[in-house]
Structure 1
Amino acid sequence: MKKLVFIFLSVFLPLFVIAQQNEVLFSQANEAYNKGDYAKSAELYEAIVKTGNVSANLYFNLANSYYKQQKVGPSIYNYEKALALAPNNNDILTNYTFAKNMRIDKIDVLPQGFLSEVYTKLVNLWSVDTWAWLSVVLVFIFAICFVVFYRAVSSQQRKMFFAGWTFSLLLSIFSVLFAFLTASNKVNNRFGVVYVGEIKVQSEPNLRSEKLFTLHEGTKVQLLEEVDSWKKIKLTDGKTGWLPKKQVKEL
């Protein structure tokens, strides 16, 4: 029993202490933000991020602190992190739009085909966790309908619950499928944000190669591959090139 108590305290007590400390830091950060001390609030929010106890609200507040300081790269980066956890949050989407207007680079987006556009919207509709929870709820509904179907007396009830468990089963399969597709999309489509004021994009992963174009702080890029200290990037207009990896922060 003493050993179990010791294990419990050694595992959960530090987590409890960290949680309590983070609550204090979050309160102090909010207070600093409300007083207009945005540098201090950003510092305190970043301290919480380092503990790994993150949330959409934390990233949102941190992004707002950087936005108030006109720091385009960090604000864009943290709005993106917030949206990854809460993709349909209107407050985050609105403030993110304001932050994107501070960017210098205006990059066109290549048009997508209809099916490709629908697929992209679906995999970005919800997070993996949301798709997973939806599938759990639908399986629960399926189980209820399935049981009631076999206990129903009238043919009308049997038809109704047959349709219910069939529909919920199909939707649960659909939800599981898109949970996997969303997870796969995140793994295979890596993105980053340019974190320096201005940087030249090279044709090859070295400074001797041709300079293709210039990017500025806050521009979001797709990360294709990495060679030594360089990352190959792709823009929404299809252009590709190489950047020093320390100049772009991966999301």
Structure 2
Amino acid sequence: MMIKPNDPTRAGSAPVPQTGNPAHLSLSEIQALCFKAARGAGHDWGHAEEAGWAAAWLAAAGLPGPALLLAWLRETDLAAPLPARDRWTTSGRRQCPLRTGVALADHAALPEGPGVTPLVLENLAHPAIILPFVARAAHRIGSRLLVRCGAGMIDPCSGRLSRTPSDSACLGTAPIDLIILREDGITTNPPTPAPHYGVISLLHWQALDALALRITVPPSAQSRTGAGAEGGDND
């Protein structure tokens, strides 16, 4: 059965045909699309919600949130972290940035979180995805947290993040040892106001939508028959 573009079981409206320029989606649309794509890829409700939020956060910061999330969703062998003081490992496997990010925010004020000494996240894949959670952890402890990716240094709390050659290690997919530095008592400038939209290419939109459609049910004669109220509601 062919599904019409405006069918309510779809993740959203069909993308408008493009000729090379990316489309602009609201942050809420990006969050909803990426949440459903994460669910379609097999992630549980909690992690899917965090994934959608992270993609929208990255888009608001000027980074390619949907593309970064799609690359992570295509991975199948990423491990949860083993939190410990000063260094988080995964017993030799690549570390999942989403599960590590959630754990980092939860451990922010604990001994395993960012402390006086740098915290090393060992063999972290798709490192950019952890940036929203570093910002969340910084907010929870009231301290500035900086992220060192290779030769680059990123402040996730600064609002709009500029992409420079030194940040290429953080924006790539290859695993790296990411370092989080804590600076107590540092006053930062107010974050740059974030836009209410993000950009996404047609190919990434289609790929995310295909994942999202895995959790939808195509319409049928039975579903249409049972839709709506059984009686009138005019009094």
- For Structure 1 versus Structure 2, the TM-score category normalised by the shorter chain is under 0.3
TM-score normalized by the length of structure 1:
0.25
Bigger RCO (CA 8 Å, 6+ sep)? 2
Larger-gyration structure (1/2): 1
More helix by share: 1
Q: TM-score, normalised by structure 2?
A: 0.26
